[in-house]
Structure 1
């Protein structure tokens, strides 16, 4: 089955283009109008409250720890299972005392790796493909001496250098500081308990937000998934939308990154505009990643296995039916080691981290 993703429509503005789409039912569209490219940087500097809180943690004898410290302090263990189609897939811990496979307290959504972080496969001398893990809490420093949890769906994530990027569905992208992870005390509350004492609902570590690229256009864009592309010059970021029907546009956009600052490139007014955008009529897309001019598009199918669509702009997309187990979410690409695709599945009881060779994909 193929989807033609190659049509082009001209329009005088974004609303006119949308009306033309609705009228013609043509949704595989190249979008060039700047109104469709309005991801604005709300905070352009390091969060002052984050810096103040770091000083408090240092001064009070609390710990500011590294990523390696958290890796080495894993308190849960994954199992490795094999299948003919996906050897080496990993399952979350499932024991009598702790069950990440079936819990409803959290649902796997995004995936990123040390290959994204530094294009090296290791970070602070730690290999990211390990069997132990620990949950950490994302927090927003809202005062010079306090923080609160970040209530987002986190449909997509990206590790880029010393930063962790997390999608906020209709509000843009939040960025968190991996050089400034705080170890807190035990307790059910999130934030300051009293002077010098902090807790995080049972989590041992919290990661503070330092930046927010906030969506600023008049129309909505659903930030559902994202992935890093290290094969472009400069590095770039793909963000896409999940929709259950093609009656609404399903868009992919690309933003350029500055690897020296680990930020989006912006214009003189501080606005980051997409350098490329497409409207793709593949419903239920849960992830997309590009590499070497090719796109890998992931679709969920309810209780059935997920599909992997592949596409080269200017040609028709091809479906690899049932390529993944049910409920796949998000994609990440590793150009090392013969090139790999990583994904994570969300359905209770079948929550995997999957490592697939790119040469197993049919174009």
Structure 2
């Protein structure tokens, strides 16, 4: 399958064993330069597609670049799009953010930029770049050659009065998506906050806070809401991730384990799956957990 500008999709491996597991078939399965973080679901040219964010770091753990891998769920293939910003002279620079969470609304992709609010990228205006610029936006160094890269350019920065470690979608009781997101803070202690914000329809509008609470869960990595039910992911080092589920003030540990090194969460109401992913090298997986295992179909 081809994407804009004739770019080809790269394959992933899919296994069905109670969950839908997608695994990378390239060096990204084990690299320590790039780490997957955020996840959300959207439609691209009529096809159901997962968006998975990655950030690149150097040996000093400094952020160099970020990208989105768009995964065609029907064919289990993916395509990378680099994230970029424009400077005052119109030059493209790599988006040096953690990209800890995603919320995808049509052509508007919102990315959690830890400590820097929410960054918005325009998917209706992807650009093709080549040569040294492609290498720079991809966070690569040295003189190696790179044929080219697709780039999504930041269109707006939305200040938010939270650390913005992750970002998740909100649905009503009937499963209809709302123009709202959950924005949360990763902290090693129990003081991390989750806020619910409305998405501005006007690009110049602001994220308005509608609610905020502290569930008392350390190391929160993602959160989504369906009606009155919240789902929160919690990482636990090299052990399986923990899923918390329930009402705003009554979250309980679920018996279903998340991937090792779990990160963000995304609800897939059409396929009736909860998506998450693991970030650790050699253990990286994009996993869809059936709602029936979570008690959603009871």
TM-score category, normalised to shorter length: 0.7 to 0.9
> Is residue 74 of structure 1 aligned with residue 8 of structure 2?
yes
Which whole-Å CA distance do the structure 2 matches of 1:287 and 1:234 have between them?
A: 18
Asked whether 1:123 is paired with 2:51, we answer no
Aligned to 1:236: 180
Instruction: Verify: 1:341 aligned to 2:274, yes or no.
Output: yes
Return closer, same or farther for 1:295/1:202 CA change in 2, 3 Å cut-off: farther
Which of 294, 311, 321 is equivalent to 2:246?
311
Partner of 1:257: 199
SS in 1 for 2:4: helix
The equivalences for 1:170-319 within 5 A come to 170-187=115-132, 190=136, 203-215=148-160, 221-231=162-172, 234-246=178-190, 249-258=191-200, 261=202, 266=205, 271-314=206-249, 316-319=250-253
Out of 69, 79, 89, which is 2:21 matched to? 89
Partner-residue secondary structure (3-state), 1:151: coil
Give me the whole-angstrom Cα distance separating, in 2, the residues matched to 1:177 and 1:227.
Answer: 18
Deviations 1:43-102 (A, max 9, x none): xxxxxxxxxxxxxxxxxxxxxxxx9427x733421011233x42x3100123xxxx1100
Q: Which has the higher contact order (CA 8 A, sep 6+)?
A: 1
* Distance of 1:172 and 1:274 partners within structure 2: 13
Q: Which has the higher helix share?
A: 1
RMSD of aligned residue pairs (Cα, Å): 2.5
Instruction: From the superposition, tell whether residues 109 and 234 of structure 1 become closer, same or farther in structure 2 (CA, over 3 Å).
Output: closer
Q: Secondary structure at the match of 2:292?
A: helix
Q: Which moved more, 1:179-188 or 1:326-335?
A: 179-188
Q: What TM-score does the superposition give when structure 1 sets the normalisation length?
A: 0.66
Higher-Rg member (1/2): 1
How far has the Cα of 1:321 moved from its partner? 4.1
Calculate the TM-score normalised by the size of structure 2.
0.79
Equivalent in the alignment of 1:26? none
Q: Is the 8 A contact 2:230 2:251 kept in 1?
A: no
Unaligned runs of at least 5 residues, structure 1: 1-66, 115-121, 192-199
Q: How many aligned positions are there?
A: 260
1 CA distance for matches of 2:101 and 2:171?
17
Structure number with the higher strand fraction is 2
Contiguous gaps of at least 5 residues in structure 2: 50-72, 138-144
Q: CA deviation at 1:341?
A: 0.8
Partner of 1:332: 266
For 1:281, what is the secondary structure of its paired residue?
Answer: coil
Q: Which of 272, 283, 293 is the aligned partner of 1:350?
A: 283
Instruction: Find the aligned partners of 2:28 and 2:177 in 1 and give their Cα distance.
Output: 39
- Superposed counterparts of 1:125-164, under 5 Å: 125-128=46-49, 129=73, 130-164=75-109
Given that 2:168 and 2:266 are in contact with CA atoms closer than 8 Å, whether structure 1 keeps it comes out as yes
Instruction: Give the match for residue 323 of structure 1.
Output: 257
Q: Distance in 1 between matches of 2:106 and 2:186?
A: 27
